[in-house]
């Protein structure tokens, strides 16, 4: 597969291992159904992998998840399997699709594009940091099953963005899919640490370039829009 610019999805928020204010029972993990335990371990692993890469230890993961180290190996066969699951979860487009659904449909075109850009940028940045930390210079290799899932995820994200843009279609010179393509390219490049030379562009600037371009309006004079 390739990195689809828009299908890269963000990481889930780190799950609290037990309710706020409560203490874990004498160092033992709070009993959880298997799928919840798996999800909690993955959520605890993602930020640690982004920070430490493959050098992260199962002890660090266990401490972050509030479980005994042996609990990890009752769910995952190895640390490598857990890290792979954490990366797969980070690439899941569902959280980004849910976030796009919260964009205010009554906002202005500029506000709408800025919100979309901020969502894309957070997801891209999280995934770039995670993949670079584990030494990936490109997307993880895929089999046919993952390629199929990626394609469906990309289509779902595109549909979610196009739904948000639809109320503004009459304001656009380009078609909404073309706007999405250009916005995705700009945001991807502006967010990737190996492309932006350590100078990421913020969402306001990306949208300003998209909507206004770089040329001064004809009634403005050179210098009118220089930063203070």
Would you kindly state where each structural domain of the chain is located, as residue ranges? 92-212
Reported residue count of the chain is 228
24-67 pLDDT, tens digit per residue, is 444 455 678 889 999 999 999 999 999 999 999 999 999 999 99
Residues in Cβ contact with 206 at an 8 Å cutoff, skipping those fewer than 6 apart: 117, 121, 183, 186, 187, 190
The conformation of residue 215, written as its DSSP 8-state character, comes to S
Which of 48 and 221 is assigned the larger pLDDT? 48
Read off the pLDDT of each residue in 149-158 and give the average, rounded to a whole number.
85
Residue 4 has pLDDT above 50, yes or no: no
Residue 135's pLDDT is what? 82
Determine contact, residues 125/45, Cβ cutoff 8 Å: no
Q: Binning pLDDT at 50, 70 and 90, where does residue 224 land?
A: low
Residue 6's pLDDT is what? 45
Residue 220's pLDDT is what? 60
Measured from the Cβ of residue 77, the count of other Cβ atoms closer than 10 Å reads: 9
Residue 147's pLDDT is what? 67
115-152 pLDDT, tens digit per residue, is 999 999 999 988 888 888 888 655 555 556 666 767 88
Q: Binning pLDDT at 50, 70 and 90, where does residue 222 land?
A: low
What does the buried/exposed string (b/e) look like for 96-133 if buried means 16 or more CB atoms within 10 Å of the residue's CB?
Answer: bbebbeebeeeeebbebbbbbbbbbbbbbbbbbbbbeb
Read off the pLDDT of each residue in 4-32 and give the average, rounded to a whole number.
45
């Amino acid at each position: 597969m390739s990195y689809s610019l828009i299908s890269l999805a963000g990481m889930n928020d780190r799950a609290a291992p037990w309710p706020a204010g409560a203490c874990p029972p004498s160092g033992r993990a709070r009993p959880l159904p298997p799928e919840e335990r798996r999800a909690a371990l993955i959520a605890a692993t993602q930020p640690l992998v982004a920070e430490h890469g493959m050098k992260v230890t199962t002890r660090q993961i266990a401490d972050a998840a509030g479980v005994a180290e042996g609990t990890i190996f009752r769910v995952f066969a190895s640390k490598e399997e857990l890290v792979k699951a954490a990366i797969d979860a980070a690439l899941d487009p569902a959280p980004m699709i849910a976030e796009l659904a919260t964009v205010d449909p009554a906002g202005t075109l500029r506000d709408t594009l800025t919100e979309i850009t901020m969502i894309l940028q957070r997801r891209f940045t999280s995934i770039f940091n995670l993949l670079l930390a584990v030494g990936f210079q490109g997307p993880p290799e895929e089999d046919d099953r993952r390629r199929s899932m990626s394609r469906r995820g990309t289509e779902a994200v595109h549909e979610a963005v196009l739904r948000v843009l639809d109320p503004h279609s009459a304001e656009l010179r380009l078609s909404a899919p073309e706007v999405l393509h250009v916005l995705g390219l700009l945001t991807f490049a502006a967010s990737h640490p190996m492309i932006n030379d350590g100078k990421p562009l913020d969402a306001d600037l990306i949208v300003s370039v998209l909507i206004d371009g770089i040329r001064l309006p004809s009634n403005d004079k050179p210098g009118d829009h220089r930063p203070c």
